[in-house]
Structure formats: structure tokens, C-alpha cells
A and B are shown apart, each in its own frame.
Chain A
Amino acid sequence: MLDLIYAVQAIPKLAVGLSIAVGFTCLALFLSVTGGLILSYIRSFNIRTVNIIINAYVTYIRGTPLLVQLYLVYYLLPEIGFELPAFVAGLTAFVLNSAAIMHEVIRGGLSSIPPGQQEAAIAAGMTNRAIWRYITFPQALIKVLPQIISEFTILLKATPLLAFISIVETFRIAQLIYSNNYRPIEVLIGAAIIFFCVNFSVSRLGIFMEKKLAGRGL
């Protein structure tokens, strides 16, 4: 019989793992939004070779599984001379993955801003940098905020993969617990419950913000 008391017992330990995963996700998301912004900025110069390279990078990220990307970074870094802890390898893989997605999201946000605004700014004598800083960038960032929040849940749901490059997070802790008490089903249900609580709240926040922003006519 299933005995859900094991699920309840496991939750405090699993929550520690989940808090690690949430911290990891926040860090990865912050870095990848920054990366996505830099990529979009570079791309706005329209240099052909640079754009081709960025396109190839995005195609690679979108066309291969995150697990393969993760293993690749994990094994490639030592080969090219970086002996880094697994945590850094995991973070690198996640950021490389998410920055490509964020880049596309931000690019979509930027292109949704009417070109008339830029033209008006040029006519008003603003420099390119000022236009980016004061006109296009803040508006685009607000527009893509709901998508950034949904990327948070996507990344958080991917953190169990980190267990396979020996990072201790929720799933690894779940495995450790059920290798002791032989109750994999209950422990995994516990993990599912806490993941559900966090992701559900975050995605509700995203929907709420989307509605709020829509109300402001953005």
C-alpha cells in the first residue's frame, strides 16, 4: 500500500533541495536575461557574420536536448582546460540554453515597439544609446516580463537534470531518501507536491502580471 506519511516526512529535506534549485534558477535566469539583452544589442548593429553566428547558436540550442547540452558542457570544460566544479558547469549550460531563448523573446519584445517612436526620438536629436536606454529597452523589458517569469518555471522544471552531473538538488535528495527507505513512489510524490506549489504560484504571478500590463495598454 502507498503510505503518504513517507511523502510528508520527506518534504522538509526535499524543500532544502528545492531551495537550492530555486537559487540556482534565479541566478541562471538573471545571467541569461543579461546574456539575451547583450545578444539583442549586438544584433541591432546588423553585422552579417555576427548575425550568422548568433543564428547558428540559437539553432543549436533550440535543436538539441538540454540534457545533451548539459553533458557536453560538463565534459567539454575540463578538456579545454577549465577544471570547474559541477555547479559551474550546470550553470553554464543552463545560461547558454536560456540566453538563446531570452534573446529571441527580447528581440520579439523590441520589434513590437512601433518604429515611429524611434524615428521621433531620432528627430528629437537623441543618440542611439539614449534611444536604447530610455525608449526601446524599458518598454521591451516590461513587455517580456511575463515570458521571463514563464522561463523561470521552465528552468526550475529542468533542475532535476542537474542530479545527473552530481549536483545535489531536489531530485538527488529524493533519490538519496528512497534509496534508504525503499519508498520511491511516496518520496517522488512529495517532490512533485513541492515543485507544484512553487511553479503554480510563480505561473499565477506571471498571469496576474500579464493582465496588469494589458490593463496599462502596454
Chain B
Amino acid sequence: MMGLNIDVIRENLPLFLEGLGVTMLISVVAIPAAIMLGAIVALCRLSSLKILRTGALCYLEILRNVPFMIQVFLIYYLLPFYGFRFPAYVVGIIGLSIYASSYFSEIIRAAILSLPTGQLESARSMGMSKLQAMIHIVLPQLPPYIVPPFINQSSTLIKDTAILSTITVQELTMATQRVQQESYDFVEPLVFAAALYLAINTIMIFTMSKIKQAKST
């Protein structure tokens, strides 16, 4: 086995960093977007209107049972079909946010359901509207239940950005492939990319766990 050739990585470092930047940018936009969309879907699932409940359930089942790559390619072709021309990375952010919202919404729903129902009922009997009860009673209690699974899901989302390379988003995996094609070195760029992904995920999980500790003390 040949030794690892570090020069390829040193020469192409700007390309890797650019890709890393795009990966981070996509994640930073898509994670909050997916959480907000997920919150809306979770509220629909808990709504008393049957149409909203069924609609939300269909949305979830479709997103969770169809491969993410097929969803991304569908959106990639569908948007221009209806006259929306966006750069690939915007398509990627849209696809990723929609896909991940299905997972975030289940986390939020489970957290809301885990609160004692008596709380909501007493808030309602005090004359709060359902929305007020959600905002003033339920929402402040959610963080301890949702933060750990959110960290996990966000780390999954960051890993899923790699799939966006298949619709020509210039993120880390795509940058790696460019380096491979230019240098004819196939293994080293991939090892370096894997290390970068590992670093992002580790840093994120570490900082989030620090936040969690700070909050619980």
C-alpha cells in the first residue's frame, strides 16, 4: 500500500475550505428552516381539525418513506418546471429543509405529548387560548426534551448535505471530487473530507452538550 500523499491536500486546501464553507452555510440555513417547518407540521398533527391532522400525516409519511436523493432530484426538476430558477445550493437548502422537517416535527410532537395534559387543561380553564397555552406554558418547558434529539438530527442533516453533491451543489463532497479529478489522487482527498465532516460533527455535538450542561445547572 502506498503512503498517504499530503501534498494533494495542501495544494487544494482553498478548494476544500470553500466546499466546507458551502456545507456549513447550507446547514446553518437548513437547520433552523427545518425546525420551524417541523414545528408547524407538529402543531398541525396535534390540531383538532381532521384535515390538518391527515395532511400533516401524509406529508410526514411521504417524506420519511421516499429516499432523500429522489426527493432532491424531484425538487431539482420540479422547480424550473413551474418557473422557479434557483441556483443548485438553494434547491439543496429547500430539499434538505423539507426532508428534515419531517424528523424535527416528530421530535417536537413527542416532546409536547410528554408534558402532562393537566397543564394544558388548566391553562385553558384559566381562559388562555390554545395558542397562548402553547406559547406560555408548553414552549418554555420543551428545551430539555428537544435539545438532545435536535443535536442528533442536526448532525444527520449535516451528513445529508453530502448527497447534494449529486445535484451539483459545490459543497465539501463535490469539492473533494473536483480535487480527485484534477489530481488523479482518489483516496487522500476523501480521507481529508471524512476528517472534516467528523470534525464538524464532533465540534457541534461537543458545543451543544456544553450548552445543555450550562442550562441544566
Contacts and interface: CB of A to CB of B under 8 A. Distances in A.
Interface stretch (B26-34, B120-128, B192-200): B192-200
A80 interface: yes
Interface stretch (B90-98, B135-143, B155-163): B155-163
Given A63-B198, A75-B187, A192 B70 contact: yes
Interface in B172-217: 173, 176, 180, 186-187, 190-191, 193-194, 197-198, 201-202
B173 A65 contact: yes
A171 B69 contact: yes
Interface string A1-21: 010000000000000000000
Given A79-B186, A192-B66, A192-B70, A200 B193 contact: no
A64 B162 CA distance: 9
Contacts of A184: 73, 77
A69 B194 contact: yes
Interface residues of B, number: 38
Interface in A7-53: none
Contacts, number: 108
Interface string A66-85: 11110110011001110000
Dominant SS at the B interface?
helix
B18 to A, nearest CB: 17
A178 to B, nearest CB: 9
Contacts of B66: 157, 192, 195-196, 199
B208 to A, nearest CB: 14
Interface string B147-160: 00000000100011
Given A63-B198, A68-B173, A160-B70, 9 more contacts: A60-B198, A63-B159, A80-B1, A161-B163, A171-B70, A185-B78, A192-B71, A192-B74, A195-B67
